[in-house]
Structure 1
């Protein structure tokens, strides 16, 4: 019988011309990893053997037809496709992008069916994956469609956590995507994730201003005055510790981020530049707000070093460990809430 305490971690292969296969192999080469979780890679056994030989690792694989057939203590590979695939490391290739999508779709379905408990995604190339059937800018948007909940791109590490109000949106369109509802949804997603996924009882959240100097009272844009400030007042009135808007140019330099459990940035680069500066190689991209757990490393396909054996697997390791930690925290939180809501039975024998 399977040990229910061992979590099955699904792993999508990502862009095989990038560093995804290498960091997966480097993470799983340490046999102690199999004591912590059961890996389930969604790809092809022959391809994984090719990568193992290329990178001169001694990783061995257990080929399976579906994730529910995974065996603890082994590195399982779900054979999503049967044919061989030509690999050209470092090259952008639409065909390789199609296989990245096949892996992601199969892994997501296994996640939905609970055949794997968490999903860790290796990096994809956003251009290679585009097609008539798959036209999402990235993992987050696809998972938001397939899973239940309101997705939040949440970059996390031990020292800093940054959520994004808007993520893969062109700079010129950012203001169109900032609404009272979107702000409320993202703040609530961060608040709930901090409590449920990271064990923070009373979250303190900082919100960065949209415009330089948070708009300078409307002189430099009206979003901060008309949308951000009124929405934050409602959170404070409701008893939540949500503060801002803070001027983004000085917030991290003055180390104000250390006073908060998480920060909500207005747009992608406003949040990710300081996050990656402070925690590159140790950070994790977590899709919070959904009914399943998905993480990924905080870097891309790194085509410039692909196939050369130079990739650092630290962030991928952190993505695995974080997914397991979040899953366990979430299960504990759900069980505690469930037990708190269950009516207490009174024994007749205790009556006086």
Structure 2
């Protein structure tokens, strides 16, 4: 099992290191900077429109708090076991959400991105297909989408089945070559495949905890992420999905001082099981780099990103998610 370009460089929510994430500008810039694919996070509105936001809670990524007509929508909810307070996409119709504007999610770190606040509306998933097709044509190269389905069990519980909505949305656009679908919950991936949606399936794994769908079903007896990475767990996954994607820290070997010294054998074990291996997220800022690769005490400044990116890529990954696609393309080259 392989992909055309290895590792695939995936613009994480677009080129989110340079523009507010999930905006048209971020996606278009990602392709301009050489990304092979982009990754949208997908949530739903009250009337079943799929939109692109990091989470269904949108107070940190939009100007919703500046809209007094939506003040009464401010609330608290339990999402995948975590209490969140703010405004949620499922409490708005698409017509209402379309009046909001996107903002930088990390304003203290990516201060230059703040200049682009309030310029662009929230995107629908259908608009991303148009962006991909346009750039594929102008750049004369095949481009892909790696679509992350967010909080599927939660949305199912409130009558918004993301598998059904997604299958309807991609009908007529998706092929086996332009789409990868990922989620932290395997159950939604299986339902999407059962609906005949083409494309590879990636199971996302955290460094700790257990998948929300398994916790909802089995409680304290749910199989955790670590158990999925045992030889037995990987063998089972090979019959269920096409690959996995992990936090980059799960690949790292560090000394006691927190210095990056190399990578472990996880990618080799994943490949030996017949699965694709991806990781997230390569970022250039000191805040996101191991201690020995930081180049100042300023968290927002770039450190020795090239050393980290190359070391991670040299593990043999099939794909990497990155906030700065141009840097990942450089490291790959």
Greater relative CO, 1 or 2 (CA 8 Å, sep 6+): 1
More helix by share: 1
Structure number with greater Rg is: 1
Q: Is TM > 0.5 for Structure 1 vs Structure 2?
A: no
